[in-house]
Structure 1
C-alpha cells in the first residue's frame, strides 16, 4: 500500500508538471540561447565554444523533424524534467523518506519558478540537473551499500554530466568529502579507483581533445563572464536571488535539510559523508562566484533532506502542520509559477504581474513571453529589405546576425520567408562561417543596441541603416530597437574576418 501511494504521488506531480510545460509551449516562443542550441543540431560535434556536445546531439535528433515548433524543440527538455521528478522521489526513498516526504519535495520543485523555467527551455541547464541528480542517486546507493557497481554507475553518470555542462566539476570535487570518512575512504581505495578514473577520462576525452584543438575557447568564455558578470556578484546578492527564484517558502525546507543531514542522533551513519559532498560542492561554487542557477541542483539535494526532516521530525509530532504547509506552497506556487513558465498569455501575464507601461513599453524580463511576435516582426522586416534588393544582389546575398541568437533565429525561420542563410562571428557560430572565399557584394546585417552602424562600417565601404524594429516589451535599453542594414563593398574576405574575430567571439 505505501508503495502504491508513493507511485500515485509521483505520477500526479509528473502529470501536473508536464501539463504546465505544454501550456507554456503554447503561449511562448524561443528564448535567445535556445536558438543557438537548436543550430548546434545542424553541426553535430564533440564540442562547441560555450558548452560540451550533448545539447548538440539532442538538437540533431530534434532537428530531424524539420519543425519550427516550440514543442518539438522542447521534447528532450520535457523528458528530462519528467525524469528529474522521478529521480528526486527515488532518492528521497533511498534516504529513508516516505510518501509525505516525497509529496513535499516534489511540491517544492513544482512551486519554484526557477525550476519551471530552467526545466522548460532547451538549454544545458535541465540536462545538467538530470545528470547531477542521477549521479547523486548513484552516490547515495554507493554510500549505503559500498557496492562497487554503484561506483561504476556514478562514473558513467558523471562523464555524461561533464559532456552536458562543465559545472558538474563542482559535484566531482565535492566527492572528495567521501575521503574524510573511514568507511567510504577504505571502500573507495580498495576498489581499484584508478579504473573508474581512467573510464571517466576515456569518456570525456573526445570533448577535451576538441577543446584543446580549438585552444580551449571555453576558458576564454569564462574569462569574459568573470570580466562582465561574475566579478560583480556578491554572496548576499546570489543568496537573495536563490531564495526568491526557488520560492521563499522552500527556504524553510532546504535550511532544515542542511542542518538535519549533519545530525548523528537517530540518523543513518551514511548521511554525513553525503552531506560533506554537498557542502564542499556548494562552498566551491560560492568561492568561484557562481551564478544563482549553478547552485540549484545542489539545493535540490538539500530539499530532499529537508522533506525527510519535515516528515520525520515535524509531522511525527504535529501531523496537522502538513495541511497548512501544503496550502501555503500551493498558493505561493499559483502566484509564482507564471514568473518562470509562460502558463499565461502575454496580455494576461502583464495584468497578472501588474507590469506598468513606461516610455511606451512594458518591461518583461522573460523573453520567451514575447519572442514569437518579436521574431515575426524581425523576419518580416528582413524579408522586406531582402525583396527590395535587385535580383542580381539577392542571388548571392547572406544575412549577418551580430548576436548568435539573431543568426540562429534567421536560420530556424528563414524557409517560411524564402530568405538566405545567416552567419555570425559570435560564439559557436564562428565555427560555421566559411574559412575562405569572398563575401557577397551585398550583405543584410542586423543587430540590437549592443552594436551600432560603426561595427559594420569596419568591414564594408557602404553601410546604410534601412529599417528599425521596435520591441515594446524590452526590459533593457539595448533590446529596445533592432536595426537592419544593407552593407555593400566588403573590405575583408571570409578568411580575414575569421582572423579578425578569432579573439572576439564572445564580445
Structure 2
C-alpha cells in the first residue's frame, strides 16, 4: 500500500511501520492507565517502549514483524480490559488481533500458548465456559482462514521456510545470547527494573495473573526452543506498564526530595540508553562520526546501501547486449533483497521482472518462455558455473559509499550466462531456497 500511495519513497514505505510503533507506544500508556497508573506511570511506560531497541528498529523497516509487535501489544491491552471489567465480550476484540497476528507472523502461536496457559493457571480459566471466548476463537480462525487455505494449497511452504531459517539461525549462532537480548534489545536496559517488577506483580496479582503467564510461557518456549532474542520483544510493553504502576506507587511513599531523585535518575537512564539506541538504529546524523557509528554497529543499516546502483548496473549489462539478445534476457537473483530492488526500481529501466527461487517467490515460477540469456545476481563464480552454462563476468555489485555489506562482500560479481545446465523444470526443483 505504501508503494501504491507514495511510489518508491522510503518515507512513504516506512510510514505504516512508524504508525504501528507509535500506536504500540500509546497503547502501552493506556495499559498503565487501565492498571491504575497515574500520569507518571503512563509516561514512564510509554517512554520506556519508545526508547527500546526493537520498537525503534521496527519503525525503520517495513516488514511483517513491525505489525506483529502491535498485535501483541493490543492483545495484552484487551486482556487487561477483560480482566479488569470481567466483561467476556472483550474476547471478540482479542480474537480479532489474534487472527491478524496469525496472518502476520506465526510466532504468535507462542503467545497463544501463553494465553491458554495463563487461563489454565489463573482464575481466568472460567472463561473456557463462556460463549464469548469461543466466539473470539471463531473470529480469530475466520480471519486466519485465507492464510491457512493458501498454506494447504501450497504444501505448507511457510513451515518449510521456518524450519530452514530456524536451523540456519541455530547453526550460525543467531540464537545465542537470548537472555541478554531480553535486556538490551527487547526493552530499554535502564527500564529493566520496571519490566522485572511488572512480571512479578502480574504473577502475584490474583486478577491479572494471566498476563504474567502470557510472558513466562513464551519466554520458556523460546529459550528452550532456541529462538532469536528479539522474538519476545512485544511482550515487554505490558510488563513495563505494570512495572511503571508499581513503581509510581512505591515512589509516592518517598519524601518529595527522594521522589524527585528517583524519577530523575529513572528517566535520565532511559533517555541516555534511548539516545544510544537511536544513534545505532536511526541514525542521528546523515554524515560524520555518528553515521559511521551507526554503520559500524547496525548491520541492517549497511544493507540499505547500493540497491539503486545494482539495478542501474543490471540495466547497463542488458543495454550492452546486441539488440536481438535483449528481448530474450532474464534477470535471475539469489535473494529477496535483490528481487525487491529489481521489482521496485527496475521498471524505470524497463527491466523484466526478476526470476527468484527464494521463499514464496519460488511459487511464481519462471517465464513460460524461459530466457535464453540470464543476468545472474547473487551467485559466486563457482555457483554460477555449476548452475548455468557459458557464464562470464559482466559487472560488479557494490556501492559508491564504500559500505561493506552482504551484496558488496559475499557476492560482488554479476554474471552473464546461458540457460541452466539442467532443464528448467529440474533446475527449478533443485534450486528452491529459503532465506
Structure 2 length-normalised TM: 0.90
Give the drift of 1:486.
Answer: 0.4
Residue 295 of structure 1 pairs with residue 235 of structure 2 = no
The correspondence of residues 43-82 of structure 1 with structure 2, limited to 5 A, is 61-65=1-5, 67-82=7-22
Give the drift of 1:440.
Answer: 1.5
Deviations 1:443-481 (A, max 9, x none): 11111xxx3123233443211112223453225698355
Counterpart CA distance in 2 for 1:440 and 1:427 is 22
Give the drift of 1:348.
Answer: 4.0
Give the drift of 1:147.
Answer: 1.1
Residues 230 and 143 from structure 1, CA distance in 2 versus in 1: closer, same or farther, beyond 3 angstroms? farther
Give the drift of 1:146.
Answer: 2.1
Please tell me whether the aligned partners of residues 397 and 408 of structure 2 are also in contact (alpha carbons under 8 angstroms): no
Deviations 1:326-349 (A, max 9, x none): 122222322331212233214443
Deviations 1:322-376 (A, max 9, x none): 122212222232233121223321444345x2x8xxxxxx75533435624x123
Counterpart CA distance in 2 for 1:257 and 1:425 is 45
Residue 371 of structure 1 pairs with residue 287 of structure 2 = no
Give the drift of 1:104.
Answer: 0.9
Deviations 1:221-241 (A, max 9, x none): 222123211366598711222
Residues 348 and 234 from structure 1, CA distance in 2 versus in 1: closer, same or farther, beyond 3 angstroms? closer
Q: Which has the higher contact order (CA 8 A, sep 6+)?
A: 1
| Residue in structure 2 matched with residue 343 of structure 1 by the alignment | 284
| Residue in structure 1 matched with residue 317 of structure 2 by the alignment | 385
| Residue in structure 2 matched with residue 212 of structure 1 by the alignment | 152
| Residue in structure 2 matched with residue 113 of structure 1 by the alignment | 53
| Residue in structure 2 matched with residue 224 of structure 1 by the alignment | 164
Q: Unaligned regions of 5+ residues in structure 1, if any?
A: 1-60, 356-361
Residues 489 and 291 from structure 1, CA distance in 2 versus in 1: closer, same or farther, beyond 3 angstroms? closer
Residue 319 of structure 1 pairs with residue 259 of structure 2 = yes
| Residue in structure 2 matched with residue 90 of structure 1 by the alignment | 30
| Residue in structure 2 matched with residue 263 of structure 1 by the alignment | 204
Please tell me whether the aligned partners of residues 67 and 104 of structure 2 are also in contact (alpha carbons under 8 angstroms): yes
Deviates more, 1:97-106 or 1:191-200: 191-200
Q: Unaligned regions of 5+ residues in structure 2, if any?
A: none
Please tell me whether the aligned partners of residues 189 and 270 of structure 2 are also in contact (alpha carbons under 8 angstroms): no
Residue 463 of structure 1 pairs with residue 391 of structure 2 = yes
Q: Aligned pair count?
A: 427
Give the drift of 1:78.
Answer: 1.9
Please tell me whether the aligned partners of residues 114 and 217 of structure 2 are also in contact (alpha carbons under 8 angstroms): yes
The correspondence of residues 384-403 of structure 1 with structure 2, limited to 5 A, is 384-403=316-335
Counterpart CA distance in 1 for 2:360 and 2:288 is 35
Say which of 112, 119, 125 aligns to 1:172.
Answer: 112
| Residue in structure 1 matched with residue 374 of structure 2 by the alignment | 443
Determine helix, strand or coil for the equivalent of 2:397: strand
Determine helix, strand or coil for the equivalent of 1:485: strand
Give the drift of 1:192.
Answer: 5.9
Please tell me whether the aligned partners of residues 342 and 369 of structure 1 are also in contact (alpha carbons under 8 angstroms): no
Please tell me whether the aligned partners of residues 330 and 375 of structure 2 are also in contact (alpha carbons under 8 angstroms): yes
Determine helix, strand or coil for the equivalent of 2:270: helix
Residues 260 and 190 from structure 1, CA distance in 2 versus in 1: closer, same or farther, beyond 3 angstroms? closer
Please tell me whether the aligned partners of residues 253 and 310 of structure 1 are also in contact (alpha carbons under 8 angstroms): yes
Deviations 1:20-79 (A, max 9, x none): xxxxxxxxxxxxxxxxxxxxxxxxxxxxxxxxxxxxxxxxx2232361110111121122
Say which of 329, 343, 353 aligns to 1:411.
Answer: 343
Structure 1 length-normalised TM: 0.78
Please tell me whether the aligned partners of residues 179 and 185 of structure 1 are also in contact (alpha carbons under 8 angstroms): yes
Counterpart CA distance in 2 for 1:195 and 1:106 is 31
Give the drift of 1:131.
Answer: 0.8
Please tell me whether the aligned partners of residues 92 and 304 of structure 1 are also in contact (alpha carbons under 8 angstroms): yes
| Residue in structure 2 matched with residue 29 of structure 1 by the alignment | none
| Residue in structure 1 matched with residue 275 of structure 2 by the alignment | 334
Give the drift of 1:150.
Answer: 0.3
Determine helix, strand or coil for the equivalent of 1:148: coil
| Residue in structure 1 matched with residue 413 of structure 2 by the alignment | 483
Deviates more, 1:85-94 or 1:453-462: 453-462
Determine helix, strand or coil for the equivalent of 1:486: strand
Say which of 184, 195, 199 aligns to 1:254.
Answer: 195
Counterpart CA distance in 1 for 2:291 and 2:191 is 26
Counterpart CA distance in 1 for 2:407 and 2:333 is 19
Give the drift of 1:410.
Answer: 1.0
Residues 188 and 142 from structure 1, CA distance in 2 versus in 1: closer, same or farther, beyond 3 angstroms? farther
Counterpart CA distance in 2 for 1:80 and 1:480 is 33
